[in-house]
Structure 1
Amino acid sequence: MHKSFPDDFLWGVATASYQVEGATDVDGRSPSIWDTFSSTPGKVKFGHTGERSAQQYYKYKEDVRLMAELGVGSYRFSLSWPRIIPAKDGRVNQKGLDYYNRLIDELLSYGIKPNITLFHWDLPQYLEDDGGWLNRDTAYRFADYAKVCFDAFGDRVDMWATLNEPSVFTALGYGMGVHAPGKADWSLVPKVQHNLYLGHGLAVKAFRDGGYKGKIGIVQAIMTGRAATNREEDLEALDVYRDGARMYMDPLFGRGYPERLLKRHNITMDIENDDLEIISASLDYLGLNYYFEHVIKASADDPRGFTEAKTHYRRTAMGWPVVPQGLKRLLHWVNDNYSVKEIYITENGAAYNDVLAEDMESVHDEERIEYLKGHFKACAESVREGIPLKGYFLWSFIDNFEWAFGYTKRFGIVYCDYLDGRRVPKDSYYYYREVISGNEVF
């Protein structure tokens, strides 16, 4: 064993509002697009919805106590926009603010720093009814909502993220239609992305103008991949593949949208006067979510010019390959190509088919421990190699609503019995506790 991380390395856990809170129709909360989507027959496995979920709205004190016993320094969670601003008229729901105030104060009482994401996909349905993120006005409504949150919680919160995984939200929600709002039309994706990014930039501006304390950034799930071989055609295919990552990174760093990708797919961006300047507002940090990496090879048959190559990697219950070194490659690619002050791994974890042991008080999830161990080692190596990686947030603190998979996939290091809400720490919880306590990988 050896000390693998600096003393000030920030260890945390992560969740998202619709995935853990439940209480979807109490205390003034109005429906989100995920309430609508999950209640539509055939959209979510077994018709599951977020109505109950892990019940964190009611069990937050128990969850925070478990986080404290785990030893984390921070909890990354998202705010439910329709819980805070439940109607089109913009009125603020005090009961919504009260819940998050209680959660924030409970965290702080244990010395755990709140890390808040403003938008983790649960857009208010009333905004969707007016066009949602296809409507440019939603970007301005997002900035208004962000300011409400900064004013309400900014005295106690010093780490904010505007958007979670805009690339995933746009691709799955608008390109493929397998996530809310369920639109399967790839031509919509660029417009949605631009409006999301305009909202991001306006929220950052509101944060700067308001003089709030702490840091603000964005959370990305970009895919940078690796080439199947060192042949020139595969390396060129990989570079074309990476244009997908550049599409979501370049505008944030003042480079606009990548011309090669726009031309290749005949995309016209609907950009107004100062949009790109607003979007490229200075970030205090970049959050990166990493689960797996694709291996890319050239393909004359694929209109994109590339395809995914077969690999030997073990896979999680999601069918995702376990590639710890891909995390290291991602970190280096970002650091080599963009001027990033600080990087945080804001999500990393794995789903496995977890079951309660015979004693009903434990879960033996050895595969998850091995997954985490490999990724912790990749993080430690990256820190030693000069990457400005300042923290790591494990996904997820607790089993929860896994979007279109409903409750069939368990990512948590705490087992949730969805019948009674009981919490059972898994073996991975205790492993993570030991990693945190010694700042070391073993």
Structure 2
Amino acid sequence: MKYTFPKDFWWGSAASGPQTEGTFEGDKKGQSLWDHWYDQEPERFFNQIGPDNASYVYKRYKEDIALMKETGHNSFRTSIQWSRLIPNGVGEVNQEAVAFYNEYINELIENGIEPFINLYHFDMPMALQEKGGWNNRETVDAYEIYAKTCFELFGDRVNKWFTHNEPIVPVEGGYLYQFHYPEEVNMKKAVQVAYHEALASAKAIAAYKRMNLDGEIGIIVNLTPSYPRDENNPEDVKAAEIADAFFNRSFLDPAVKGEFPADLIDLLKNINHLPEVKDGDLAIIKENTVDLLGVNYYQPRRIKAKESKVKAATGPMPDDYFDNFEMPGRKMNPYRGWEIYEKGIYDLLINLKEDYGNIPCYISENGMGVEGEERFINKDGVIEDDYRIEFVKDHLKYVHQAIQEGSDVKGYHMWTCMDNWSWTNAYKNRYGFISVDLDNEGARTIKKSGHWFKEVSDENGFDEE
């Protein structure tokens, strides 16, 4: 069977500034919360490798863009680092950063690769984090100015903008489950952080529209479909709906529909955890929905009715309303501990078609992290990552099926282009089409999957017997 994708389908990959750029003498970058956390607790990071040792793209972007072209990219998503462009979060703009991002963007365009630029990828400037980060209303105002600065500097060439990547992650990681700084467990703060992120996104969209620029602006959300253990059990179904409200619809609904989910509002009201809202805020959110949606999909969420009696924390937590369910016989990525469920990508695309007005969207992340890929190097020095080819192909089949059924999905970006630094996991799991050899000054080598992806992009699809 031939799987052919629509004309002008976006083939490429995704990355972020903090995970790829690195830090270099004279770059005048300010400190982000990741730089600070690494300084404070380097032992929290795999092999004690910090963000200063991200993939050196700041120096090697021309080489990397040539490799993108060689691996079939017609588009590529990365982010501007707020702490690089405006080192203190507010105030003076770093001209070294302006020059870098201008050259980076221009180089992409000159090589026929459309830049998709995201504004926030978990990298709060530390000067703002010290004042509360997203928990502080002032950060919303600072972010709006940062966004406008980016549009003014680069909006003449960048036509695809995104306000946030996975805005639920700073909420979960920083204020519920302690896998991001500041490692708090405080649902009241988590709700306020989420609200401020959603408001900041709408304000950035409003600013973009006022400037009458020629492009589109959206948001990138990680959608993790919540499947009940038993679809015929009302309590399991209700638990899955609550999990969906917390982790998917909390950002998807305001971004696309301009309002927060009613069931989530009711739940938060019942436990006296509604956020502080100023007059006019909800109108801003209502009137400034996204043009385009980026969808990150890695794994499903399996949910059952609450059975365990153990409280996750002293105060309220999302986990008070459901338990996670381990489906028997599930397929796993053992390195990441995540279930592989390819049909999930189809289910979420059909949900967007049926319940969200078939908003134009694209798969902005999907990928497979594997530890110890050097085991698969052949005699020519190439990593034979057939498992990654299979993973991508099996997900693309379901993307294709969704398109056949009317989904307005416009592209597929794998996470990621070259192996990159991944937060506290550093380089533990590798995700790239291109390997990065940390023991050889970050030398790059295209993996088998990268050569395969070039064929897919050239053919705008693939054959499968």
State the secondary structure of the residue aligned to 2:461: coil
Tell me the equivalent position of 1:256.
Answer: 260
Q: Secondary structure at the match of 1:51?
A: helix
Report the equivalent of 1:20.
20
Tell me how far apart the structure 2 counterparts of residues 27 and 282 of structure 1 sit (CA, whole Å): 35
How does 1:376-415 map onto structure 2 within 5 Å? 376-415=396-435
Answer whether contact 1:163 1:200 (CA < 8 A) is retained.
yes
Inter-CA distance 321–68: structure 2 relative to 1 (3 Å threshold) = same
Check whether the contact 2:191–2:275 (CA below 8 A) recurs between aligned residues: yes
Aligned to 2:328: 311
Q: Which amino acid aligns with 2:321?
A: R
What's the counterpart of residue 350 of structure 1?
Answer: 368
Q: Which residue of 2 aligns with 1:363?
A: 383
Q: How far has the Cα of 1:207 moved from its partner?
A: 0.2
C-alpha contact 2:11 2:75 (8 A) present in aligned 1:
yes
Look up the SS of the partner of 2:181 in the other structure. coil
Change (3 A) 1:320 1:265: farther
Structure 1 residue 18 displacement after superposition:
0.9
* Cα RMSD after superposing both structures: 1.7
Once the 2 structures are TM-superposed, how far is the Cα of residue 88 of structure 1 from its aligned partner?
Answer: 5.4
* 1:251–1:276 Cα contact (<8 Å) kept: no
Gaps of 5+ in 1: none
One-letter code aligned to 1:402: S
| Cα separation, 2, equivalents of 1:259 and 1:164 | 23
Tell me, in whole angstroms, the C-alpha distance in 1 between the residues paired with 2:270 and 2:298: 28
Query: SS of the counterpart of 2:11?
Result: strand
Q: Distance in 2 between matches of 1:176 and 1:31?
A: 24
What residue identity is the alignment partner of 2:289?
S
User: Does the 8 Å contact 1:243/1:261 carry over to 2?
Assistant: no
* Cα drift, residue 138 of structure 1: 0.5
Q: 2:267 corresponds to which letter in structure 1?
A: L
Using a 3 Å threshold, how does the CA distance of structure 1 residues 32 and 433 change in structure 2: closer, same or farther?
same
Sequence identity (%):
33
Give CA deviations for 1:172-194 in whole Å, capped at 9, x if unaligned.
12212211333332321111011
Residue pair 2:14, 2:413 contacting (<8 A) in 1 also: yes
Q: Secondary structure at the match of 2:52?
A: coil
Q: 2:243 aligns with which of 233, 236, 241?
A: 241
Distance in 1, matches of 2:260 and 2:5, equals 35
| Cα deviation digits, residues 97-123 of structure 1 (max 9, x gap) | 100111111111111111000001111
Among 345, 350, 356, the alignment partner of 1:338 is 356
Q: 1:427 aligns with which of 427, 442, 448?
A: 448
Q: How does 1:28-47 map to 2 (within 5 A)?
A: 28-41=28-41, 42-47=43-48
**What displacement does 1:45 show?**
2.2
- Give the secondary structure class of the aligned counterpart of 1:242: helix
SS at match of 1:194: helix
> Are the equivalent residues in 1 in contact too, given 2:240–2:322 (CA < 8 A)?
no
Pair 1:276-2:282 in alignment: yes
Q: Which residue of 2 aligns with 1:8?
A: 8
Residue 51 of structure 2 aligns to a residue whose secondary structure is coil
TM-score by length of structure 1 reads: 0.96
Which residue matches 2:102? 101
Q: Assess if the C-alpha contact under 8 Å between 1:176 and 1:185 holds in 2.
A: no
The answer (yes or no) to whether the contact 2:352–2:359 under 8 Å persists in 1 is no
Q: Distance in 2 between matches of 1:72 and 1:56?
A: 17
Deviating above 6 A after TM superposition, structure 1's stretches of 4 or more consecutive aligned residues are: none
Q: Single out whichever of 39-48 and 321-330 deviates more from structure 2.
A: 39-48
Return the offset for 1:336: 2.0
Q: Which runs of 5+ in 2 are unaligned?
A: 310-319
Residue by residue over 1:361-381, the C-alpha shift from the partner in whole angstroms, topping out at 9 and shown as x without a partner, is 200112111111111111111
The change in CA–CA distance for 1:412 and 1:225 in structure 2 (over 3 A counts) is same
Mapped contact 1:34–1:181 kept (Cα < 8 A): no
1:368-415 alpha-carbon deviations (Å, 9 max, x no partner): 111111111111111111111011111000111111111111111111
Amino acid at match of 1:397: C
Q: Distance in 2 between matches of 1:262 and 1:38?
A: 34
Alignment CA distance shift 1:140-1:340 (3 Å): farther
SS at the partner of 1:192? helix
Measure how far apart 1:86 and its partner are. 1.1
Whichever residue aligns with residue 119 of structure 1, its letter is Y
Q: Could you tell me which residue of structure 2 aligns to residue 437 of structure 1?
A: 458
Cα separation, 2, equivalents of 1:372 and 1:210: 38
Q: Please say if 1:293 is aligned against 2:293.
A: no
For the residue of structure 1 that corresponds to 2:388, the secondary structure is helix
Give me the TM-score of the superposition, normalised by structure 2: 0.91
Give the C-alpha shift of residue 340 in structure 1.
Answer: 4.5
The letter for the 2-side match of 1:114 is P
Q: Aligned partner of 2:351: which letter?
A: W
Q: CA deviation at 1:425?
A: 0.9
Q: Is the 8 A contact 1:85 1:145 kept in 2?
A: yes
Taking the aligned partners of 2:409 and 2:102, their CA distance within structure 1 comes to: 29
Q: What residue identity is the alignment partner of 2:305?
A: A
Alpha-carbon separation, structure 2, partners of 1:385 and 1:340: 11
